[in-house]
Amino acid sequence: MDPDHNVLTRPNNWMSDSLSLNPTAAAGPACLKERLGRMRGSLLLCALGLGPILLAFFQDLWARPQYQFFPLALAGAALLAWQRINAREAFPPPRQRIWAALWLGLSLGSLALGVGFWLPVFGGPALLFCLMALAWLLGGRALLACLAPSLLMLVILTPPLGLESEVLRQLRRLAVLGSSTLLDYLRVLHSVEGNVIELPEKTLLVEEACSGINSVLLGMSFCVFYLFWRRRPALWLIVALPATFAFVMLGNIVRITLGAALQFFAKIDILSGHAHEIAGLVLVATYILLICSLDQLLEFVTRKTARARKSGEPVGQDRRPDASFVKPVWLPLCGFAYALAGLVAIAQLIAHPDLLSSIGASQPKAVAGLKDNFAFPTSIGSWRRSEDATNKVVEVSGVSSISAYYQLGKIKAVLALDYPLRGYHDAKLCYSSQGWIVQDESIACAAIARTPPQFVEVNLRKKPLLFGFLCHGVINARGHWLEPPRASATAALANRFNTLGRGFANVSTVRLQVLCVDSQALSSEDCAQLRQLFLSGCQLLSQHLSGKG
């Protein structure tokens, strides 16, 4: 008898027997490699199509401090996929491929939006749906389940469409209100105006880093990675993710409260400089320990999970033998569609190289040279420049800023620009975070430049007796003024595309504003004079950025 047919020498494993008897079956990663080899031409076309928009997508993530951990998240997602795929013995291909076709359609739609309007944020969904379709084609529901944790981490890395500023504002507000409650309990004399905590001798501004958004995204990514790396049930995320959010928010509230209390009682500052960075690292380490401790608590409560894991049965093993794999006939057509989108994206990058200009340290020359080549004149119309810098309430958001103080009769105003920004920055949000109340606002336009500046006029009030009049607008490095956000739902949706689109988020921008603060409301004549000062500044800035200044 042939020893190869001796049942005593054959592997004591049902799946191994099935695979050896079925010539079309393959084990685990080996079958996936074989199927990927049959699809390599279509996959190369897909990679060509997704490459340019993904380059812009990851560049955009790196420009956002709260997403700069994304290389670690991607590495963790790849590690999870490798671990879970190797734990299985077979991936039967799906009998119905309609889901793959649907996800490929969604991927191509996201890619078309991203390339057509140059919206890098759609690069994330395009990649996500493409991976879902690929997983379904290669291994059906089994492979998609294996990749689900990795896909969830990619979802966390995708910024919300046009809602990020609102999320940041709400998180800062929650952190300030929570800290104020604790400071009242500690008998720390303070007042709260927007995102500012006023102490008797110091003003504490709760910035984006203190709002918790940075640690929330990092904590959620680590939570997903750790739970799935330990092979926990997916239902645990229902408890773990909200708990992670609570850990981060409580940690930031405690940090702000402790910083304000130390400043009040001992004049020790831990909310700026290296002390602030060290405190952030300590908090991140604390969040990681809390997530690991929560995992142990959930395991203690659900002991059956531990017993099932020790039984030696591979998680989610599929006992059905593999079937022969046939490449869909429509897959090459999808590959050519991806490649066409990629070629369009490459053509756009060649025609507009500044779409990726923020890679590296350089900025467009017109914006980078503002500090050395642009200055406000000594007079603008009837306005005369003043050295009296008593009006220091103007809010700037960029890395650099240029400001000048002007006076006309009894009216004093500050004309300021800040840069480099990315996309449209609504100045009234900065003032609202400082305790100013927006009484009314209106959008206006004036044909004084190559592209008419669209700007916003805002009447502000700050208790008890401060009134403000603000004009502000945003211009990009190409000399085009950006459209302000609209109030209606339809216009707001369109503005999200505009704000993220070709003329906005991927071209450096400069914000110009005029602010006048007085103890009484300004008359309509005073507002008209301030508006003329702003428009004159718009004309000067437009000429400079267009090379005519």
Sheet holding 437-445, edge to edge: 379-380, 383-386, 400-408, 411-422, 508-518, 466-476, 454-462, 437-445
Amino acid letter, residue 506:
N
- Given a cut of 70, whether residue 386 has pLDDT beyond it is yes
Residue 480 DSSP code: P
Helix (H) or strand (E) holding 427: helix 427-432
- Given a cut of 50, whether residue 5 has pLDDT beyond it is no
As a whole number of angstroms, the distance between CA 232 and CA 228 comes to 6
The predicted-structure confidence for 416-441, as pLDDT tens digits, reads as follows 888 777 777 788 877 877 778 888 88
Q: Which residues, other chains included, contact 256 with Cβ-Cβ below 8 Å and sequence gap of 6+?
A: 175, 176, 179, 197, 204, 206, 210, 271
In terms of average pLDDT, the best of 20-29, 239-248, 533-542 is: 239-248
Over the chain, what is the mean pLDDT?
A: 78
Helix (H) or strand (E) holding 196: strand 196-198
> Rounded mean pLDDT of 181-188?
90
| Residue 458 Ramachandran class (φ > 0 left, ψ -120 to 50 alpha, else beta) | beta
Amino acid letter, residue 92:
P
Q: Band of the pLDDT at 15, cuts 50, 70, 90?
A: very low
Token duo for residue 67: 């997403």
Q: Where are the beta strands (DSSP E) in 383-527?
A: 383-386, 400-408, 411-422, 437-445, 454-462, 466-476, 508-518
Return the higher-pLDDT residue of 56 and 205: 56
Number of Cβ within 10 Å of residue 321's Cβ equals 15
As a whole number of angstroms, the distance between CA 159 and CA 142 comes to 28
The predicted-structure confidence for 197-240, as pLDDT tens digits, reads as follows 888 877 776 765 555 667 888 999 999 999 999 999 889 999 99
Q: Band of the pLDDT at 125, cuts 50, 70, 90?
A: very high
Helix (H) or strand (E) holding 84: helix 70-86
As a whole number of angstroms, the distance between CA 224 and CA 406 comes to 54
